[in-house]
Each structure stands twice: as structure tokens, then as C-alpha cells.
């Protein structure tokens, strides 16, 4: 079954261009030209991925992203004309998985969509049994791609999943931001290291008892991050 992408872009020509590339890339595409239309389609059609333009005529794309994030972990790829790093980081802090700055190559956009959805799929060599950490506080089930924390399932985006699985590879080992990007994405591009911090921040809000005093994902000053729980068994 082809993955469904919800494409949200108000500029008709660009929307049609991107749609045709995505369709040639094997995706089923639903499109919306406003934030309101996007939210209604996202609710009724449950897309696998949302490609979201930030400059929309009715509401800012950021508002659409926040609204989507409030009830789902559907991956979001942002299309932004805003080139400053702070703007991009803000988008990632809203829970976007990735962003592409306009003008972009439609082929690259297709590759990014494929990469995000691959991250969400079953990783190669996944174990069949869930792995538990910290006497069961954290359970990572690579087969079902689910995360349980203190008994409750937590919805994570593909990128958050990638970060968590990367850190859980060797609990206690310090992973630099660069290593985390490499393990999570399989490719890297400029200015991305700071974005790891945004994904970690979002993850902490979901899994830590107190995100202000994180114990599961620990920051190592000048080093990176490490998983603060040991593997059980
Ligand atoms: Ca626009």
C-alpha cells in the first residue's frame, strides 16, 4: 500500500509540481491550499506524512503544526521560506521531523519524504522482543515501533524514535549530536546539529517525569547525550 502524503501549499503551481513528483515517487497525494483545509483533511484521512508550507493564507503553518501535534505523531516536513536557523529550529521545536527551505528541488523533497517514512518503518535487524531499560521504566519495541514509559505507550515521531533508538544502542555511552544525526537520518546537511536539541527537548516532554530535570536522556556538557537507564536482563 502506497504511503499517503498530505501536501499543504497555497501556491497552486508549486503544489501541482510537488504533487506530480511525489506521485512519481510512488506516494498517494492529498492536497490542501489552506490551514483549515489541511486540518480537516488530516483529521479525516490520517495521512502517513504531512508536507506543510509555513506561509499559508489563513493561519500560519506553525499553528497547523501545533494543532496536528496536539493529537498525533504524524511526521511533518516543513516547507519554509524563512532561512534563518532560529526560524528552522522553532519549526522543529513544534515537532516537525524535517524542513526544506524554498526554493528547493522537488526531487530532494521526495527523497526527504522517503527518508522520513523509512525512519518510521522497521529498522534493519530489529529484535523480536521488546528491549527494556531501567527495570521496565522504558520499553522499546522495535518490531512494533512503540515506546512505553512507566507503563504507558508514548506516541513519538519518526525522528524522535530515531534519536531514542540511537541513544539506546549502548545505554550510558555518550553520543555526540553529529553521531545522533548520522544514526537517525542516514544523511546530514548543514546546520542540523542544533536541531538534535529540539528533538531531544520534545522527547523529554513526552518521556521524562520532569523535563526540566531529565533522567532518561541526559545532557553531557560538551559531549552530547546519553541514555541514563541501563538495559534490563
Ligand atoms: Ca505559501
Mark out the alpha helices in 46-105 (DSSP H runs): 61-71, 85-93
Q: Quick one: pLDDT at residue 73?
A: 85
* CA 53–ligand 1 middle distance (angstroms): 6
Of residues 20 and 194, which shows the higher confidence score?
Answer: 20
Q: Round to whole Å and give the CA distance between 71 and 171.
A: 30
Q: Round to whole Å and give the CA distance between 120 and 7.
A: 19
* CA 176–ligand 1 middle distance (angstroms): 35
Q: Quick one: pLDDT at residue 127?
A: 53
Q: Which are the contacts of 209, defined by CB distance < 8 A and separation ≥ 6?
A: 150, 215
pLDDT classification of 97: cutoffs 50, 70, 90 = confident
* CA 106–ligand 1 middle distance (angstroms): 15
* CA 149–ligand 1 middle distance (angstroms): 38
Q: What's the pTM value of the predicted model, to 2 decimals?
A: 0.71
Q: What is the mean pLDDT of residues 153-161?
A: 91
Q: Quick one: pLDDT at residue 118?
A: 81
Q: Report how far Cα 175 is from the mean position of its chain's Cα atoms.
A: 19
Q: Is 178 helix (H, G, I), strand (E, B) or coil?
A: helix
Residues with CB under 5 A from ligand 1 (ion): 10, 53, 55
Q: Round to whole Å and give the CA distance between 151 and 159.
A: 22
Q: Round to whole Å and give the CA distance between 72 and 169.
A: 26
CB 22 within 8 A of CB 70: no
* CA 74–ligand 1 middle distance (angstroms): 21
Give residue-wise pLDDT tens across range 22-81: 999 999 999 999 999 999 999 899 899 999 999 999 999 999 999 998 888 889 999 988
Nearest Cα to 6, choosing from 94, 25, 15, 14? 15
* CA 83–ligand 1 middle distance (angstroms): 14
Q: Which are the contacts of 5, defined by CB distance < 8 A and separation ≥ 6?
A: 22, 27, 28, 29, 30, 47, 48, 49, 50, 51, 113
Q: Round to whole Å and give the CA distance between 1 and 212.
A: 41
* CA 11–ligand 1 middle distance (angstroms): 6
Nearest Cα to 92, choosing from 199, 1, 215? 199
* CA 78–ligand 1 middle distance (angstroms): 11
Q: Dig out the grid coordinates for 111 from the structure.
A: 527523497
Q: Dig out the grid coordinates for 203 from the structure.
A: 522527547
Amino acid at each position: 500500500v502506497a504511503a499517503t502524503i498530505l501536501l499543504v501549499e497555497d501556491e497552486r503551481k508549486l503544489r501541482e509540481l510537488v504533487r506530480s513528483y511525489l506521485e512519481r515517487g510512488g506516494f498517494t497525494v492529498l492536497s490542501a491550499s489552506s490551514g483549515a483545509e489541511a486540518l480537516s483533511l488530516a483529521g479525516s484521512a490520517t495521512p502517513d506524512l504531512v508536507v506543510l508550507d509555513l506561509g499559508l493564507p489563513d493561519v500560519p503553518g506553525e499553528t497547523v503544526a501545533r494543532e496536528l501535534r496536539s493529537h498525533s505523531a504524524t511526521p511533518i516536513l516543513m516547507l519554509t521560506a524563512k532561512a534563518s536557523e532560529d526560524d528552522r529550529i522553532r519549526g522543529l521545536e513544534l515537532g516537525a521531523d524535517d524542513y526544506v527551505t524554498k526554493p528547493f528541488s522537488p526531487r530532494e523533497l521526495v527523497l526527504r519524504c522517503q527518508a522520513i517514512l523509512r525512519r518510521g518503518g522497521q529498522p534493519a535487524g530489529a529484535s523480536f522482543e521488546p528491549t527494556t531499560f531501567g527495570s521496565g521504566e522504558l520499553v522499546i519495541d522495535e518490531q512494533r515501533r512503540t515506546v512505553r514509559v512507566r507503563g504507558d505507550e508514548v506516541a513519538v515521531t519518526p525522528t524522535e524514535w530515531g534519536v531514542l533508538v540511537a541513544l539506546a544502542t549502548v545505554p550510558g555511552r555518550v553520543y555526540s549530536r553529529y553521531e545522533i544525526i548520522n544514526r537517525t537520518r542516514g544523511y546530514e546537511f548543514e546546520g542540523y546539529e542544533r536541531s538534535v536539541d529540539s528533538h531531544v527537548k520534545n522527547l523529554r516532554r513526552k518521556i521524562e517525569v520532569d523535563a526540566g530535570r531529565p533522567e532518561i536522556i541526559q545532557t553531557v556538557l560538551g559531549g552530547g547525550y546519553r541514555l541514563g537507564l541501563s538495559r534490563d536482563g
